[in-house]
Amino acid sequence: MSINPFSLEGKTVLATGASSGIGRETAIRASQMGATVVAVGQNPDRLGETFSALEGTDRAHRQVVCDQTNSEDFERLISELPQLDGVVLCAGRVVTSPFPFCTREKYDSVFEINFFSTVELLRLLYKKKKIASGGSVVLISAISGIARFPIGNAIYGASKAALTSTMKFCAKEFAKKKIRVNAITPGMVRTPMIKLDALTEEQLQKDCAQCPLERYGEPTDIANGVIYLLSDAAVWVTGTTLVIDGGLSI
State residue 206's pLDDT score. 76
In this structure, of 55-59, 190-194, 199-203, the range with the lowest mean pLDDT score is 199-203
DSSP structure string for 24-58? HHHHHHHHHTT-EEEEEES-HHHHHHHHHH---TT
Query: What value does the mean pLDDT take over residues 20-37?
Result: 96
Q: Is the CB of residue 38 less than 8 Å from the CB of residue 16?
A: no
Name the CATH architecture for the domain at 12-244: 3-Layer(aba) Sandwich (3.40)
Residue ranges in 44-142 assigned as alpha helix (H): 44-53, 71-80, 104-111, 117-127
* pLDDT class of 207 with cuts at 50, 70, 90: confident
* pLDDT class of 197 with cuts at 50, 70, 90: low
State residue 93's pLDDT score. 82
State residue 200's pLDDT score. 64
Report pLDDT digits (tens) over 211-249: 888 788 899 999 999 999 999 999 999 999 999 998 888
Query: What value does the mean pLDDT take over residues 169-186?
Result: 97
**Residues forming the active site:** 156
Whether pLDDT at 198 is above 90: no
- Residue 150 phi, psi (nearest 5): -70, 150
Report pLDDT digits (tens) over 123-153: 999 999 999 999 999 999 998 877 777 788 8
Whether pLDDT at 86 is above 90: yes
Whether pLDDT at 68 is above 90: no
Distance, CA of 21 to CA of 243 (rounded, Å) = 18
DSSP state of 112: I
